Chains A and B, each alone.
Chain A
């Protein structure tokens, strides 16, 4: 895993994509941002992906394959799974059953989408700074 490798954002909502994009522009990291519009597109991308991404951020509530189902499919595929750490979920909903299921599928974090973009920026910065120091299996590929 390269600290400057791409950050994958799996998000079906164009407004949320815009919020994230604007925040990443302000954060000014070197990582390329790759937006994937739904679970199917994400799977397709992950299957052919050569590089190990620095970070994967996924929405929970998406059409066809939701964030937890998508993580479950990633977990089933050992070749992809090892590249998909850290895998972070963002959702409006923070119901206990979702959180339980998501961690069972091997995510590294679950965050409630905040209302205030300033707060979202603080969360993203914390996540990225933390993972810059943390070791992950993808580093040894």
Chain B
């Protein structure tokens, strides 16, 4: 029994377990379905992810390709930047060059504009002249035509007169015949007949008169024809001459252009040379000053350490350096004088002479000199250049005065026509301001009267009369800047005279 109870219990238990298991199985079935559904979802998701992965892989590859391309492009850009910087540097240089060339061209253009204006003005003048010639020609042609018309009219008038004369002659002949007839008929009426004969004779005289008048008219017509021919010939000659003038004008214009080109070239070359002189002189001054300073210091501070010979040599060195300094300064002054862009102003020579007198006061006192300006007229000059000119002449006169004799320098000036002056270089009709600087110094031998104006030309050793030989070259240059002429007269120990001729405008 117990056994069966236990079995029943066991069965119940089993039945319960079975039910539980079925429930569990059912739950598991549901869970399985759920899982199966989740699996399907996951597979779908996995597939989607796989697709998405492929997409991303593809995008990555694309991006890597793109990055590679960008790297290449960057390198290319870097290279291009480098090239552009080089190019920019080259362009910057080229720009500077162009700016410089532009400036040069603008200068040249300005000069050309002036030259063009001049040519245009000359052309206008020539055109005016040509127009006048054309008008004169037309006038002559018109006069010729008028004369020809008149001559033609006269010819017609002559023909008319000739015809009338002929008619009259015919009439006269008829009258003569009629007269003769009448005479014959009126033989007995002699008085009557005589009257008629008288009438006939008068008619003959009248005819002769007419004939004479005709021949006069014919002569006049002939003379007119000759005059016409002459005028026609003159017209032709004038046209030829006008044509020749046009050709000559073209030739002159061409020559003008060539000369302007040459002048422009020379102007540039001259400017360069002046700049060269100026810069080199300036740059030479600095090391020279230092040589001089060092020599001065040595002579001042090291004198006791030097032998007499050493001191002498340093002294000579100092003198030579001083002369070189003077040369450089004079060369600089000479190159400055060569630039001609200065204004002319009415200037009082007396004031200039007074200023120089005061500048040179020490020398004037030492030489017991008298500097006189007599009858000075105002003159149109470049003031600072003319001051330099007068300074050089007066200081020269003081320098070359005779020992023991007080220097006497007389400056006169007057305005006079070139023809009245003893100088063949002057135009006879133009007025000149003649400035004369005369001294009573040592003078010079007449054969040197031209050479003394040359640069570096000296007539005396530097030990006797110091100087660089540039002073009178500067004087001549200044006179030339004023379009003038200078001459020197001198005799040994009988003074020197400088004659300056400046054109007056």
Q: Which residues of A contact B (CB under 8 A)?
A: 13, 15-16, 19, 61, 92-93, 95, 113, 115-118
Contact = CB atoms under 8 A, between A and B. Distances in A.
Interface string B285-303: 1100110111011001000
B56 to A, nearest CB: 60
Interface in B194-232: none
Interface string B409-432: 000000000000000000000000
B282 A19 contact: no
B296 A116 contact: yes
B297 A117 contact: yes
- Pairs of residues from A and B, 3 with the lowest C-beta to C-beta distance, nearest first: A115-B292, A92-B285, A92-B286
A61 B300 CA distance: 28
A91 to B, nearest CB: 9
Interface in B79-118: none
Contacts, number: 29
B289 A115 contact: yes
Given A117-B300, A118-B300, A92 B293 contact: no
B296 A92 contact: no
A52 to B, nearest CB: 31
Contacts of A113: 289
Contacts of A61: 286
12 contacts: A13-B286, A13-B290, A15-B293, A92-B282, A92-B289, A93-B282, A95-B332, A115-B289, A115-B292, A115-B296, A116-B296, A118-B300
Contact of A115 (B282, B293, B332): B293
A117 B289 CA distance: 11
Contact of A116 (B282, B293, B332, B336): B293
Contacts of B332: 95
A33 B407 CA distance: 52
A61 B296 CA distance: 23
Nearest to B289: A92
A66 to B, nearest CB: 12
Contacts of A116: 293, 296
Given A92-B285, A93-B282, A93-B285, A15 B296 contact: no
Nearest to A113: B289
Nearest to B283: A61
Contacts of B336: 95
Nearest to A117: B297
A95 B289 CA distance: 16
Nearest to B294: A15
Residue from B285, B286, B296, B300 with most neighbouring chain A CB atoms (10 Å): B286
B187 to A, nearest CB: 128
A93 B325 CA distance: 12
Given A115-B296, A116-B296, A117-B297, A15 B282 contact: no
A117 B302 CA distance: 14
B293 A19 contact: yes
A93 B289 CA distance: 11
Residue from A16, A92, A115 with most neighbouring chain B CB atoms (10 Å): A115
Contacts of B289: 92, 113, 115
A72 B290 CA distance: 28
Contacts of A117: 293, 296-297, 300
Contact of A15 (B285, B290, B300): B290
B14 to A, nearest CB: 107
A113 B296 CA distance: 14
A16 B297 CA distance: 13
Contacts of A92: 282, 285-286, 289
Contacts of A16: 290
A116 B300 CA distance: 10
A13 B293 CA distance: 14
Contacts of B297: 117
A95 B339 CA distance: 14
Contacts of B285: 92-93
A138 B300 CA distance: 39
A113 B292 CA distance: 12
A113 B289 CA distance: 8
A38 B488 CA distance: 51
